[in-house]
Amino acid sequence: MAKAKRKGSSSGGGSRGKSSKRARRGASASGQRGAAARKQSGGTSARGGRNGEPDAIALLKADHRQVEQWFAEFEEARSKDQKRELAENICKALEVHTMIEEEIFYPAFLEATDDKDTHHEAELEHANAKQVIADIESSDPDDDYYDSRVKVLSEMIKHHVNEEEKSDGMFAEARESRMDLAALGRALKARKDELMSETTSPDAPPPRMTPAQRVVESKP
């Protein structure tokens, strides 16, 4: 299966010093950041860009819904071909989704909020999911563990999506921040289109590892 090539670093930027999440939320609650975001995005609605394009969060949530649907279809699937096709769709979609988040959305989130805990936990969850994705891609529905791997991935993604979408999660925090979600939505869409159409030769260099992946890989 074709793998998407990683572009640039996804380290998410440097430290900006310690500030508590509560203090940041207090600042956000003042409404100043929300007003700045609306001003920065040219007065567009929270859900869409100037031409009705999805903003960053709408685009990422749509990806989540698509993958959830494929996981549900996998549970119902009986034929090996169906399972293989669904698992390939899931793995490719998650590879691209995690990559655009790590390259574009997560660094912008860290820059705007200084919330290193949320950022780092999200990157580590991606790294763990990628290990299971790699296991699925290197196995086959004939493998005794294939369905279990897909189930475990489904549970990991369910947890991760909840962390991103819950009422005090990353996306809610991003909405309250000064992030330009309309511009980020356009950048995510462009990069997603590029990655989805990309095929790499078998001898292409592997994607660069994020700091989170390096932590996971170095574990005994």
Residues in contact with Fe ion by the rule CB under 5 A: 60, 101, 164
What is the number of alpha carbons within 13 Å of residue 159 lying toward its C-beta?
12
Taking the complex as a whole, how short is the minimal distance between the CB of residue 164 and Fe ion, in angstroms? 5
Helix (H) or strand (E) holding 60: helix 56-76
Cβ-based nearer residue to Fe ion, 10 or 83:
10
Taking the complex as a whole, how short is the minimal distance between the CB of residue 36 and Fe ion, in angstroms? 24
Cβ-based nearer residue to Fe ion, 101 or 103:
101
Cβ-based nearer residue to Fe ion, 36 or 209:
209
Amino acid identity for residue 219 in this structure: K
Taking the complex as a whole, how short is the minimal distance between the CB of residue 101 and Fe ion, in angstroms? 5
DSSP string for 16-48: -----HHHHHHHHHTTHHHHHHHHHTTT--TTB
Cβ-based nearer residue to Fe ion, 146 or 154:
154
Closest CA to 154 of 64, 57, 61, 62: 64
Tell me the C-alpha distance between 220 and 126, whole Å: 19
Calculate the alpha carbon distances from 70 to 66, 87, 151, 160, 175 in Å. 6, 8, 12, 16, 28
Taking the complex as a whole, how short is the minimal distance between the CB of residue 32 and Fe ion, in angstroms? 27
Cβ-based nearer residue to Fe ion, 101 or 180:
101
- Residue nearest to Fe ion according to CB distances in the complex: 101
Other CB atoms within a 10 A radius of the CB of residue 203 amount to 5
Taking the complex as a whole, how short is the minimal distance between the CB of residue 132 and Fe ion, in angstroms? 14
